[in-house]
Amino acid sequence: MALSSGVKFRCYPDPKQAETLSKWIGCQRFIYNAKVGEDRYFRTFRNHSLALTGVPASVDQQYSRFKSKDLTPFLYEVPSQILRNGATLFMRAYQRYWNDLAGRPAFHKKSGRQAVWITSELFRFESTGRAKQKQNKVIYDHKLVLGAKSSPMGELRFKAHKEYELPAAITISRSNGKWYVSFSYEDQSTVMTEEELLDLYGGMTGRDLEAITLGLDRGVVVPLATSAGNPYDFTSIQKKRLVRKELRKKRYQRQMARRKKGSGHWKQAVGDVSRCSTYSANVREDFAHKTSRKLVDSAAEVFVFEDLKVKNMTSAPKPKKAANGKYLPNCAAAKAGLNKAILESAWGKVKLFTTYKARHKNKLVIAIPPHGTSQECSKCSHTHPDNRISQAVFECLDCGFTENADVNASRVIKKRGIAKLMSGELSVKQKKRTMRLKKKKQLGREPAEGNARGEVLRRVVGSAHSSHASAIRETPTATAY
């Protein structure tokens, strides 16, 4: 079984390339939003027309009706493939909705991260013949050339920090003034499927699994503790800088609140807030990547996590109402602080990154129910809330076993994971798939179907004869970028 791998590299366009890429981003976003607006218009019109009761609004990938020399002249300044890809992204978003993976396509905002999806007609990788050594691996150097023959853009400089294969499509994005190029490709190495890994490790003896299994406990004070006694935490420098960035962020937010919305100083404060948030996010992602890499490169072959529902754990508390109609204290402020601490510990990213990196090395990641793992003794299995006398210390009331609370919990997780693996209770969850570019088939030609809730969502897709007449509605003549 071949796996799909993805990479994201920093790229450095010159001012002229940055301007052209910004046009591509704006025009592709314009087509996507136009398709979303058209879909909403037709569905609203159908819902208010008795004659169209039960008739689904058609969904297609046509975009030529949005091009007008008078209303949208800026669309003629970019290659047609950019506009086509905007309509394709709209169709892919609808396919996710049909597969019950997401809601209906929504408008893309002009603020925040901006990206353009570029297919192979507008880029190519050319080998420079140079090679460089990176962590005992040879990385061959390529240059990325953008643009069509009629409108070449030239070479886009990028910095590759790891080896990669050539892709069928790339995404160029801009965030906080920095540019990135990202893409995915099929990994040539063959790996075992998850079913095969479960059969392999499930057939081992308890003694063999004991030697190769690692239990992992995620916490707020210590983000990750292992059954081997190794804690993983942010460095002291990272902690100091995160605190400092948080204080600066609050100061910039106060400045933003005092300034007139839309003014130059307001936009400057918005950028300062965004840069502080981006730094914190980058630190957490760096921690998750480095931690997961150390785990996967260790001698362990089976990793056991708790099946934590982070979304449920970080939900806001419900308001409490007294008999007299007044609201009672519900510790919302304290819960907000706990939620913030949970989200800043990168629980989800550590598990996600460990999972996909382990698959590339034919290692297994499983999850077990988290109930009582912090109250159970890893030595005698006695479970009681009073066993954990403090946040850091665990002392069993039955056998007197004393250990660090996080290490004890990780060993309990390890025991439960081994037992669950040997019992054969674990199974592979079937994942829903959407369209991939490599299939090379026309989009939107399937017959009517419903989503997972049984709702009929479409009738004809991509038909040249739509059930509604297309209309070019008046659009603003301002530039799309």
Q: For 231-279, write each residue's pLDDT tens digit.
A: 999 999 999 999 999 999 999 999 999 999 999 999 999 999 999 999 9
Q: What pLDDT, in 10s, does the model give residues 399-426?
A: 989 999 999 999 999 999 999 999 888 8
- Residue 132: per-residue pLDDT: 62
Output DSSP code: residue 145: E
CA trace torsion 51, 55, 59, 64 (10° rounding): -30
Whether the per-residue pLDDT at 53 is higher than 90: the answer is no
Q: Which residues pair with 200 in a beta bridge?
A: none
- Residue 438: per-residue pLDDT: 52
Kindly tell me the burial class for residue 27, based on how many C-beta atoms sit within 10 Å of its own C-beta (0-12, 13-18, 19 or more). Answer: buried
- Backbone φ and ψ for 54, nearest 5 degrees, come out as 85, -5
Percent of the chain with pLDDT over 90: 61
Whether the per-residue pLDDT at 462 is higher than 70: the answer is no
Contact indicator for 305, 412 with CB cutoff of 8 Å: no
- Residue 131: per-residue pLDDT: 61
Per-domain boundaries in the chain: 1-191+432-481, 194-233+286-423
Within 13 A of 425's CA, how many CA atoms are on the CB side? 11
What mean pLDDT do residues 193-222 have? 92
Question: Alpha-carbon distance 372 to 397, whole Å?
Answer: 15
- Residue 480: per-residue pLDDT: 45
What mean pLDDT do residues 214-239 have? 93
What mean pLDDT do residues 213-237 have? 93
Q: Which residue has the higher pLDDT, 154 or 474?
A: 154
What mean pLDDT do residues 100-123 have? 93
Contact indicator for 355, 349 with CB cutoff of 8 Å: no
Q: Which residue has the higher pLDDT, 374 or 136?
A: 374
pTM across the whole model: 0.80
- Residue 473: per-residue pLDDT: 37
Residue 323's pLDDT band (boundaries 50, 70, 90)? confident
Q: What pLDDT, in 10s, does the model give residues 141-193?
A: 788 999 988 888 999 999 988 888 889 999 999 998 899 999 998 877 778 88
Residue 325's pLDDT band (boundaries 50, 70, 90)? confident
Question: Alpha-carbon distance 243 to 160, whole Å?
Answer: 31
* Mean pLDDT, all residues of the chain: 85
Among 55-64, 333-342, 443-452, name the most confident range. 333-342
Whether the per-residue pLDDT at 481 is higher than 80: the answer is no
Q: Which residue has the higher pLDDT, 161 or 90?
A: 90
Whether the per-residue pLDDT at 326 is higher than 50: the answer is yes
Q: What is the CA radius of gyration of the chain?
A: 27
CA trace torsion 404, 408, 409, 414 (10° rounding): 140
Among 40-44, 55-59, 365-369, name the most confident range. 365-369
Question: Alpha-carbon distance 246 to 242, whole Å?
Answer: 6
Within 13 A of 388's CA, how many CA atoms are on the CB side? 17
- Residue 49: per-residue pLDDT: 80
Residue 46's pLDDT band (boundaries 50, 70, 90)? confident
Sign (positive/negative) of CA torsion 439, 445, 446, 452? positive
- Residue 457: per-residue pLDDT: 44
- Residue 436: per-residue pLDDT: 56
Q: What pLDDT, in 10s, does the model give residues 372-390?
A: 999 999 999 999 999 998 8
Q: What pLDDT, in 10s, does the model give residues 5-18?
A: 889 999 999 999 99
